[in-house]
């Protein structure tokens, strides 16, 4: 399917690795001029042809800096992909062991960074009748499957996107959400990542744990999601092929969510 994205501009947050890197790579391949933002710029982000911007988007200053640099580099923004998020550093000991600081950090990374970046770039998106795609998680719909503060923050992100779609849809800006299930990224696969810590807590080897994730999460496909599969959905939603799609949540979870 031809998406007709050549010459469009995009900002992708959390773009240095995993799903964010896959999204940036897909958009560049479609002919989009991409600013890729991350706290740490990786060689992979530089290699795909995106314009990298180093910014800590868990702070107001970082969001402001990204907005200024993105507009200077692109001249205007047609697409904002809020992929910023985190699940690597959460406690595994349940609600009573989760501190106020951990709750605050989760909401800063998974919600407020997106709120600030969106606020900063929305005037340009309105001018260009652009679109926003927020990357959430199946944990927003199944909050018991992950750390409590992470699921709550992602559920808030889903509500944020729906409210934006209602307010700004009549002004020409579409806002959608993509919610992946367990995806083959460093969060799950790195030796010091969240998946490795879950495996250790469960007393199983990391590789054996990963092999069992699809069954444990009820994924009908029998495998974890690939980052490129999430990126393909984002690219479609960014295009005019999805001109009548707004306020939607596209779940890419291998069939893990069983409810209608």
In the predicted model, is pLDDT for residue 87 greater than 70? Answer: no
Contacts of 182 (CB under 8 A, 6+ apart): 188, 213, 214, 217, 219, 224, 225, 253, 254, 256
- Asked if residue 260 is part of any domain, the answer here is no
- Asked if residue 232 is part of any domain, the answer here is yes
Cα–Cα distance, 48 to 44 (Å, whole number): 7
What confidence score (pLDDT) does residue 90 get? 73
Residue 75 shares a structural domain with residue 161: yes
Residue 33 shares a structural domain with residue 144: yes
Residue 175 shares a structural domain with residue 208: no
More confident position, 187 or 165: 165
In the predicted model, is pLDDT for residue 88 greater than 80? Answer: no
Residue 17 shares a structural domain with residue 102: yes
More confident position, 35 or 87: 35
Extended strands (E) in the chain: 9-13, 33-38, 51-54, 79-82, 131-135, 174-180, 249-252
- Please report, for the domain that includes residue 118, its CATH number: 3.40.50.720
Q: Is 150 an annotated catalytic residue?
A: yes
- What is the per-residue DSSP string for 64-128? HHHHHHHHHHHSS-SEEEE-----SS--SS-GGG--HHHHHHHHIIIIIHHHHHHHHHHHHHHHH
- Asked if residue 4 is part of any domain, the answer here is no
171-177: average pLDDT: 98
Terminal Cα distance for the chain, rounded = 28
Phi-psi region of 168 (alpha: psi -120 to 50; beta: other; left: phi over 0): alpha
Contact 51, 71 (CB under 8 A): no
Cα–Cα distance, 41 to 200 (Å, whole number): 29
In the predicted model, is pLDDT for residue 93 greater than 90? Answer: no
Q: 94 φ, ψ to 5°? A: 90, 180
- Asked if residue 58 is part of any domain, the answer here is yes
Average model confidence (pLDDT) across the chain: 96
Tokens of 53: 């911007």
Residue 84 shares a structural domain with residue 129: yes
What confidence score (pLDDT) does residue 245 get? 98
Supply the range of the domain harboring residue 198: 186-224
- Asked if residue 73 is part of any domain, the answer here is yes
Query: What are 175-233's pLDDT values in tens digits?
Result: 999 999 999 999 999 998 989 999 998 999 999 999 999 999 999 999 999 999 999 99
Residue 171 shares a structural domain with residue 216: no
Percentage of residues of the chain with pLDDT beyond 90: 92
| Catalytic hit among 112, 150, 194, 250 | 150
């Amino acid at each position: 399917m031809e998406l007709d994205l050549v010459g469009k501009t995009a900002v992708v947050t959390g773009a240095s690795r995993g799903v964010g890197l896959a999204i940036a790579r897909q958009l560049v391949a479609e002919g989009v001029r991409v600013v890729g933002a991350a706290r740490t710029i990786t060689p992979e982000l530089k290699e795909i042809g995106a314009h990298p911007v180093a910014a800590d988007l868990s702070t107001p200053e970082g969001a402001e800096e990204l907005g200024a640099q993105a507009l200077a580099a692109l001249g205007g923004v047609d697409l904002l992909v809020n992929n910023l998020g985190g699940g690597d550093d959460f406690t595994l000991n349940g609600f009573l062991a989760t501190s106020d600081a951990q709750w605050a950090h989760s909401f800063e990374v998974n919600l407020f960074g997106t709120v600030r970046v969106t606020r900063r770039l929305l005037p340009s998106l309105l001018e260009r009748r652009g679109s926003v795609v927020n990357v959430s998680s199946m944990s927003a719909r199944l909050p018991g499957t992950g750390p409590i503060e992470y699921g709550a923050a992602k559920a808030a992100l889903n509500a944020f996107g729906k409210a934006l779609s209602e307010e700004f849809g009549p002004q020409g800006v579409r806002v959608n959400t993509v919610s992946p299930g367990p995806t083959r990224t460093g969060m799950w696969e790195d030796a010091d990542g969240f998946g490795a810590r879950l495996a250790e807590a469960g007393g199983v080897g990391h590789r054996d744990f990963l092999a069992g994730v699809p069954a444990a999460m009820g994924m009908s496909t029998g495998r974890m999601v690939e980052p490129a599969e999430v990126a393909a959905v984002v690219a479609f939603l960014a295009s005019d092929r999805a001109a009548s799609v707004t306020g939607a949540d596209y779940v890419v979870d291998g069939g893990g969510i069983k409810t209608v």
